[in-house]
Amino acid sequence: GNNIIDEFIQDSQLSSHKTYQLSKPLEWIPYNKFYDIKCISKSNNKVCKANWIDGYIDKWDSVNQNWKRKNQDMIVILRSFNSSENVLLKFINEFIGFHEVYGITKDPETKNYIVAYSEECKKYKHVCNALHFQQNFNNWTSGNNDIDGFIQDIQLSDHSYNACHALEWIPYDKFNDIKYIAKGGFGKVYKANWIDG
């Protein structure tokens, strides 16, 4: 139904995989091919985990003239976009370096486009920090939607295996021995001991 997205998917299937850094061609996936959908995060762009009935396209079967598939009923991550298709396609182009992106679907209720991708990072072949952070989004809040969204966006871009450099929300009561140091350009500067750090 959307010419830009249709063309993007067709190009991924027809062009050399080097162009898109894809090892699997993208496809349009009907939303009803997903089941057991569980939301992990309801930030700006909702993130859910789901089972995908068909599994991903593996390769073209020239004898039977259709796509061969693998991993039926596999678990995928569904990331919703409530913005334009250009933002969606930019996300896919940036994201494919870290995850296997399988295709695009559309939520029949919200009409938002959704990207279906692997929960494993390409680089490490296991679930990366971004997924662990997604699963914890509902367990904390700063009380400010803009700050929460900023932290969550940074966490969603963490595709490493080591979480020691990740940005997180730290409740004030997790600090002790708080001492004023000076007034800085943007506010007061304190030093403290981080209880959990």
Task: Please return the burial class of 159, using the count of CB atoms within 10 Å of its CB with bins 0-12, 13-18 and 19+.
Answer: middle
Domain tally, the chain:
1
Mean per-residue pLDDT, 141-166: 70
**Residue range(s) defining the domain that contains residue 87:** 3-194
CATH number at residue 174: 3.30.200.20
Query: What pLDDT, in 10s, does the model give residues 43-102?
Result: 666 888 999 999 988 877 788 888 888 899 999 989 888 766 666 777 777 666 667 889
Query: What pLDDT, in 10s, does the model give residues 2-25?
Result: 877 888 777 777 764 444 444 568
The residues that bridge with 33 in the sheet, in sequence order, are none
